[in-house]
Amino acid sequence: MMDAAKSDTHQKALDINLDPGIYGTIAEIGAGQEVAAWFFKVGGAAGTVAKTISAYDMKVSDEIYGKAGRYVSRERAQAMIEREFRLLQDRLSDDRPDTRFFAFANTVAARNYQGTNECHGWLGLRFQDKVGGESNDVILHVNMLDQTNVRQQRAMGILGVNLIHAAMHAIGSLDIFLTSLFAELSLSRLEIDLLHMSGPDVPAEDDLEVGLQLVRRDLAQAVCLSDEGRMEPPTEVIRKRPVAIARGLYREPEHVHPEMLQAGIRCVATETGPDEREPLGLMELSVNNVSEGADVPDSDYLGRIASLLDHGFPVLLTRLRESYSVTEYLRRYSDAPLRYNLGVSSLALTFAEDYYADLPGGLLEATGKLFAHDVKAYGHAMDAGAFREHLQTASVPVDHVCEPRSDTVNVDNLELLPPVGRLYRYLVEAGYIENIC
């Protein structure tokens, strides 16, 4: 058998076709039938493919898999693999006693003709790791980022072949499985922001562990963990909702201030109309932040995430370095009000020019990207001693920040040296930065 992590798509499809012990069904809705096409193009598909099916018509799909509220959904992908795997076993288990069966399914919304839709999809795989063994499930949610329908189809074909091959040949190691899963793909083409594994043979069932690896290995810009620690697609959590977000490192439990975020939620609720959806509070933790290097162990991050989840808010785990990148990311899913919640010491650090040395427009460009349409920052007042202590731990020079003149530092009395201070005062007077209400 070839190296599961290093072989290309052609080799993987052929490897499966030539293995007499692997046999299954491929069911695809949307983005062409690129996964099945790979097995037919490389030759020997009769050795692997029991059936291919593409139930595009909604009524036909409902007749086969049952009614669904949405056709591009986890529920639809799950129903597809459950039905197709059951049929395989019912029809073929007696005739193929030495076979490991699989059922692959995807339901995808690729780029439409106008280019106006959200390009995403769900993939599912039910498979046996051992002949006659219990089945395992892998479910993925993906965002397709290519600018043409054809390239999105091709990316989906590669990912589908990768998934089947990785499950059949690399399921014993999460490290090798993820490497094989994303082979010949990149984060500029496709993003996997949910991956759930279950069954007796999978290497990890903990969503926290898997989600962290998706972000750290560049398979996703971000994953969203519900307050119960379950991965959910960010689009389903954030879509069209006003958002209050708190960014932080959260190295110690005392660095978590859920009351700040709760105050931010109440504040944004006063700004939205009765037709707006309920505001969402998010705690964001970046594994690529400006203050820590890349050597933080997984166990450290897992501890921080677990601590954050105890406070009852969803956690957005990201690899987004600067706050303006968070704005750009969240604007993929919602144009509703976006409010950053931060202590005034963090607000002061936002104006440290060294953070933006790699941007052609420096601080000015970063500020424009951060405070996009309907974006504000709520500043939370701090004791002057705590303000000084936080600045002393900064990873960049803070000589743009003036010494506090009062015992409490807030948005109004925070002083920054010119010319940065003039930019800060403009943002305050224009209403982009406010004291928490």
Of 176, 125, 223, 153, the closest CA to residue 1 belongs to 176
Considering the segment(s) 9-205 as one domain, its CATH architecture is Alpha-Beta Complex (3.90)
> What's the CA gap between 211 and 193, in Å, rounded?
8
Can you point out the beta strands (E) in 58-119?
100-109
Of 220, 131, 128, the closest CA to residue 167 belongs to 128
Can you point out the beta strands (E) in 147-265?
190-198, 222-225, 231-232, 243-247
Q: Give the distance from CA 41 to its chain's centroid.
A: 32
Burial of residue 157 (CB within 10 Å: 0-12, 13-18, 19+) is: buried
Domain segments of the chain: what residues? 9-205, 235-435
Write the CA distances from 215 to 249, 328, 340, integer angstroms. 16, 17, 22
Residue 416's pLDDT is 98
> What's the CA gap between 43 and 113, in Å, rounded?
32
Cis peptide, bond prior to residue 97, ω within 30 of zero = no
Element at 425 (helix H, strand E): helix 420-429
> What's the CA gap between 27 and 81, in Å, rounded?
8
- How many CB atoms lie under 10 A from the CB of residue 121? 25
Domains 9-205 and 235-435 belong to one CATH topology: no
Tens digit of pLDDT at every position of the chain (437 positions): 456 666 899 999 999 999 999 999 999 998 889 999 999 999 999 999 999 999 888 889 989 999 888 889 999 999 999 999 999 999 999 999 999 999 999 999 999 988 889 999 999 999 999 999 999 999 999 999 999 999 999 999 999 999 999 999 999 999 999 999 999 999 999 999 999 999 999 998 899 999 999 999 999 999 999 999 999 999 999 999 999 999 998 987 766 789 999 999 999 999 987 778 999 999 999 999 877 777 899 999 999 999 999 999 999 999 999 999 999 999 999 999 999 999 999 999 999 999 999 999 999 999 999 999 999 999 999 999 999 999 998 888 999 999 999 999 999 999 999 999 999 999 999 999 999 98
> What's the CA gap between 277 and 271, in Å, rounded?
12
DSSP 8-state secondary structure symbol assigned to residue 40: H
Residue 5's pLDDT is 60
Q: Which residues, including other chains, have CB under 8 Å from residue 222's CB and lie 6 or more apart?
A: 193, 215, 234, 316, 317, 318, 319, 320, 329
**Do residues 218 and 319 make contact, with C-beta atoms less than 8 angstroms apart?**
yes
DSSP 8-state secondary structure symbol assigned to residue 69: S
Enter the pTM of the model: 0.94
**Do residues 104 and 93 make contact, with C-beta atoms less than 8 angstroms apart?**
no
CATH number of 235-435: 3.40.50
Residue 254's pLDDT is 63
Residue 3's pLDDT is 63
Of 339, 333, 426, 325, the closest CA to residue 374 belongs to 339
Q: Which residues, including other chains, have CB under 8 Å from residue 430's CB and lie 6 or more apart?
A: none
